[in-house]
Amino acid sequence: MYDFAYRKPASVADAVKLLATEPEAKAIAGGQTFIPVLKQRLNKPSSVVDLAGLGLSGISVSGNALTIGAMTTHAAVARSAEVKKAIPGLAMLASWIGDNQVRHRGTIGGSLANNDPSACYPAAVLALGAVVKTNKRAIKADDFFQGMFTTALEADEIITAVEFPLPVETSAYEKFRQPASRYAMVGVFVAKGPAGVRVAVTGAGQNGVFRVPEMEAALAKSWSPDAIAAIKVSPEGLNSDIHGSAVYRAHLITVVARRAVAAAA
């Protein structure tokens, strides 16, 4: 990696100030994507602003929302009794991210801010109609994801928490893993909750996570795997690489979605 200054602010306000004043500064959450990127010299930040120690981790249920602090690790989400009770699909998703080491370092906020098109969390956040809370505002999931590695976040904005509306009647996540990286080649989160019936797909789309309205409509009528078995997703706009063509990914979306519904039933 290239040399950079390491900064550890004491408050969200200080962190934002550092990021706002230094155009080449980058925030680091769990670093499970960013550190490999640095090691490969694919990024040359002037400073790395560490978001640990800002009090941004923790899980709480109050009223009609499950709130997960941005710096909460995947492992903490996976083993949380509150998450398992309120949104079992979310706990399941977190327990499948990366490997044990990654799950103990990687965070929900880091994953969302990076918006890797193969990341798992965006599928849950979109399917559950969550709200991404930042130091400045609350952003609806529908507005947050704006394409591959692109989000609604501004330069001086960091995620502080993610709020999932409750009650979620049912939810599940299934993924077909890219065999080498084990990232989602096709990951589908299905949910029935305050945001309605939603089906969100990660890993497959060139522009990151997306919803499948035909499947949502079918499931709204009849929540069963058979309801979507015949729905074909167009390969248009899907990724194609040495691990799977767009046509194969399109096929997998239906298979994986059906299995997710079966798991949620």
- Which residues of this chain interact with another protein, rule CB under 8 A? 2-3, 40-41, 176, 179-181, 241-245, 248, 251-252, 255
Q: How far is CA 212 from the centre of its chain?
A: 17
Q: Which is nearer to another protein, 34 or 144 (CB)?
A: 34
* Cβ closest to another protein, residue 164 vs residue 176: 176
- Distance of closest approach, residue 17 Cβ to another protein, in angstroms: 29
Cα–Cα distance, 230 to 34 (Å, whole number): 40
Instruction: Judge contact between 66 and 163, C-beta under 8 A.
Output: yes
Measured from the CB atom, is 227 or 255 closer to another protein?
255
The nearest distance, CB 127 to another protein, in angstroms, is 21
* Closer to another protein by Cβ: residue 37 or 61: 37
CB-nearer residue toward another protein: 121 or 183: 183
CB of 248 to another protein, least distance (A): 5
Smallest CA-to-CA distance from 83 within 69, 100, 99 is with: 69
Minimum Å gap between C-beta 118 and another protein is: 10
The nearest distance, CB 99 to another protein, in angstroms, is: 10
31 phi-psi bin (left φ>0, alpha ψ -120 to 50, beta other): left
Looking at beta carbons only, is 120 or 159 nearer to another protein?
A: 120
How far apart are CB 243 and another protein at their closest, in Å?
7
How near is the Cβ of 181 to another protein at its closest, in Å? 4
57 versus 178: smaller Cβ distance to another protein: 178
Structure tokens at 99: 């490997």
Q: Is 10 helix (H, G, I), strand (E, B) or coil?
A: coil
Between CA 32 and CA 98 the distance in angstroms is 9
Q: Which amino acid is at 54?
A: L
